[in-house]
Amino acid sequence: MTEFRIDRRTALGGMAGAALTAAAPAWAKGRKVEEGYAQVPGGRIWWRRVGAGAGLPILLLHGGPGAGHDYLEPLEALGADRPVIFYDQLGCGRADSPPDERLYTIQRSVDEVDAVRKALGLQRLALYGHSWGSMLAIEYLCQGRGAGVEKLILGGALASVPQTMAGQQRLIDALPNGAGRRLHALEAAGKTDTPEYQKLVQLFYDRHVCRRKPYPAYAQRSFDILGKSIAYRVMNGPNEFTITGVIKDWDRRKDLGAIRIPTLITTGEFDEVTLDCHETIRDGIRGSKLVVMPGCSHLNMVEKPAAYVGILRGWLA
């Protein structure tokens, strides 16, 4: 997402695995907040734990790959009921960003989830994945890694990158005033670095990624992180609908039946991950529930944070 304002956040110092008392942001005001680092395959990740209620802890897997945890900050409100654990995955945010591109794979990311759980003692938990994080959660569970995972929430979710890319192309074709045709013409001419192309990409994002303007500071931070993230470049590609990285062929549609825990799926009316992708997951995971938020696109938690948190809190209760 190089068209967003870039302001790379400086990684925090500290010892791996050390827990630090952190200043509480608005969402977490009045609740216990801890943060620190944990060693994972390839380096260190940064984590943040908000709340200490009696409810089942929830581990959040952010999108991108490489967006960092920041745009999920509204979910800190769930800390009134339970511990809420965020972490920046390797290659973004406050985590290490080693330059070796061979590290940025789906399998290493799956192994990272296990390492985070072990470091933080998360034996029983609910697992939340948004966008790429939904892929990661599905892959994790399909590999049989889900011992102790009692509930699953998938937002802006996909079980197949090819299916998702097909849906995104339909959305591009439906852009107003021939914008989709012009975008494809510029791609064919190799002019993807031009201001005109970036303006058309932004039009897609404004309709299908985040419809709230201006972006709240916490969301802008994630967009800034994406613009610099090695994980995004290597695993995804140059933008949201040009997926040329290592995840481009990932497809778990036939394996969804292996997931046998209570599952909530959320999406927005205008989500860049189209409704058919979410229906595929709903139909593949027996007993799962699908909620579509009207007026929202991909970042429901940014566009309507109170309503989104309410949906999650009600389902987790």
Is 271 a catalytic site residue?
Answer: yes
Q: Tell me, what's the pLDDT at 284?
A: 98
> If residue 228 lies in a helix (H) or strand (E), which one and from where to where?
helix 217-228
Is 298 a catalytic site residue?
Answer: yes
User: Token pair for residue 221?
Assistant: 């931070």
User: Token pair for residue 283?
Assistant: 């139909």
Which string of DSSP letters, residue by residue, matches 127-184?
EEEETHHHHHHHHHHHTT--TTEEEEEEES--SBHHHHHHHHHHHHHT-GGGHHHHHH
Residues in the chain: 317
Q: Tell me, what's the pLDDT at 15?
A: 30
Average pLDDT value over all residues in the chain: 92
Reported as a pLDDT band with limits 50, 70 and 90, residue 31 is: confident
Q: Which of 11-15, 27-31, 114-118 tops mean pLDDT?
A: 114-118
Is 229 a catalytic site residue?
Answer: no
Residue 133 has pLDDT above 70, yes or no: yes
> If residue 114 lies in a helix (H) or strand (E), which one and from where to where?
helix 106-120
Query: To the nearest whole percent, how much of the chain has pLDDT over 70?
Result: 91
User: Token pair for residue 50?
Assistant: 């908000």
Q: Tell me, what's the pLDDT at 25?
A: 54
Nearest-10 crossing angle of helices 132-142, 106-120? 80
Terminal C-alpha separation, the chain: 36
Catalytic option among 131, 160, 229, 297: 131
Q: Tell me, what's the pLDDT at 1?
A: 31
Contacts of 273 (CB under 8 A, 6+ apart): 131, 156, 157, 158, 164, 167, 168, 267, 298
| pLDDT per position as a tens digit, 167-212 | 999 999 999 999 999 999 999 999 999 999 999 999 999 999 999 9
For 11, half-sphere exposure in the C-beta direction (CA atoms, 13 angstrom radius) is: 24
Q: Which region holds residue 64: left if phi is over 0, alpha if psi is between -120 and 50, else beta?
A: left
Catalytic option among 229, 271, 278, 297: 271
The whole model's pTM is what? 0.91
| pLDDT per position as a tens digit, 61-109 | 999 999 999 999 999 999 999 999 999 999 999 999 999 999 999 999 9
Largest CA distance in the chain: 57
Q: Tell me, what's the pLDDT at 27?
A: 59
Q: Which fold has domain 19-171+219-316?
A: Rossmann fold (3.40.50)
> Are the C-beta atoms of residues 31 and 24 closer than 8 Å to each other?
yes
> What is the chain's Cα-based Rg?
18
